[in-house]
Structure 1
Amino acid sequence: MATQLKNLSDFSATEIPSAAPYSFGIVVAEWNAEITNALYQGAYNSLIANGALPDNIQTYPVPGSFELTSGADLLLNNTGLDAIICLGCVIQGETRHFDFICNAVANGLSNVAIKYSKPVIFGVLTTDNQQQAIDRAGGKHGNKGDEAAITAIKMAALAKTLER
């Protein structure tokens, strides 16, 4: 089904474990704050709705999406969090800056996840324009923050299942 016809945040066909046993870090880019604040609200509310305790959710702002990697690395190096949710928004401009930032963030977050063997969730919008970002930050296509939170819960549960 085409994205334009679908709410991407519909989790009715999936089982979501309780978030109660886990602790989460949310790293939020301050750049494109209108969008990232909406992503944050979606993530936070989804964690709470699925049983996370407010005291088990730590939030840290970083200047932009590029700094999400450093933020996630610092958190995992200095805390015992079970999963990190990284939220940002990069909107295509007239230069190749968009490509460099998106690639660096995606690769950087993957590397941090591997380095610590912990879930580091990519909740970064990479859109062509502001309207696409709005549509994916609580608009007609749902909220990528919700998706990131559900992914964090599921991955934290998987990691706990595989612990020995």
Structure 2
Amino acid sequence: MSGHGAPEMGPVEGAADLKVAVIASRWHTQVMDGLLDGARRALADSKVADVTELRVPGAFELPVAARRLADAGFDAVIALGVVIRGGTPHFDYVCEGVTIGLTQLSQDTGVPVGFGLLTCDTEQQAIDRAGLPGSAEDKGYEATAAALETAVTLRPYSRSR
């Protein structure tokens, strides 16, 4: 698993007053349910109450939705999705497009983006990372905690928008 050496994830001090958006794709329901549950746990553990959830058709729609919400004044945006490799190059195009799009919007807006896009070769790999009972990792929780911690860390350096 890729989690070797990862920092401990837990409640984020000082995040309770953040305004947070969680965007999740609708493909692969079981995996997405796990990722969303992980994000919700991280938000609850950090006592974040101002949360908006938005569902989009697939992973490719995550960047445009995240950009709209970042521009709408959210302090952090969490993007959750899963792309499972198939027999065509579609996997590579979607994964690259989403990664570049989310990175660019975070750099352009200064709004932290929780990168919760699973890019897996098999459905079992996605299940193993989805925070479901028996999963080895909880990427929904991790992506959310990382975005919250970044927003809190950068708060003293915020410009008024």
TM-score between both structures, scaled by the size of structure 1: 0.88
Deviation at 1:115, TM superposition (A): 1.7
CA 7–47 in structure 1, closer or farther in 2 if over 3 Å, else same: farther
Listed as ranges, the matches of 1:70-109 within 5 Å are 70-77=64-71, 79-109=72-102
Alignment coverage as a number of residue pairs: 157
Match of 2:139 in 1: 144
Assess, with a 3 A threshold, how the Cα gap between structure 1 residues 7 and 125 changes in structure 2: closer, same or farther: farther
Whole-angstrom distance in 1 between the partners of 2:7 and 2:80? 15
> In the TM superposition, what is the alpha-carbon distance from 1:123 to its structure 2 partner?
0.5
Match in the other structure for 1:114: 107
Give ranges in structure 1 of 5+ residues lacking alignment.
none
Say whether residues 1:28 and 2:24 are aligned partners.
Answer: yes
Whether 1:66 aligns to 2:47 is: no
Letter in 2 for 1:103: E
Q: What is the CA distance between 1:75 and its match in structure 2?
A: 1.0
Specify which of 34, 37, 46 is matched with residue 33 of structure 2: 37
Question: Cα–Cα, structure 1 residues 128 and 58, in superposed 2: closer, same or farther, change >3 Å?
Answer: same
The answer as to whether partners of 2:3 and 2:137 remain within 8 angstroms in 1 is no
Q: Which residue identity lines up with residue 95 of structure 1 in the other structure? A: T
The aligned residue for residue 57 of structure 1 is: 51
Q: Which amino acid aligns with 1:154?
A: E
Deviation at 1:117, TM superposition (A): 1.2
Which 5+ residue runs of structure 2 have no aligned equivalent?
A: none
SS at the partner of 1:142?
coil
- Which of 9, 12, 36 is the equivalent residue of 1:11? 9
- Mapped to 1, the partners of 2:2 and 2:151 lie a distance apart of 30
Question: CA separation in 1, counterparts of 2:137 and 2:108?
Answer: 31
CA distance in 2, matches of 1:46, 1:5: 17
C-alpha RMSD over aligned residues: 2.1
| Separation of aligned partners in 2, 1:5 and 1:100 | 25
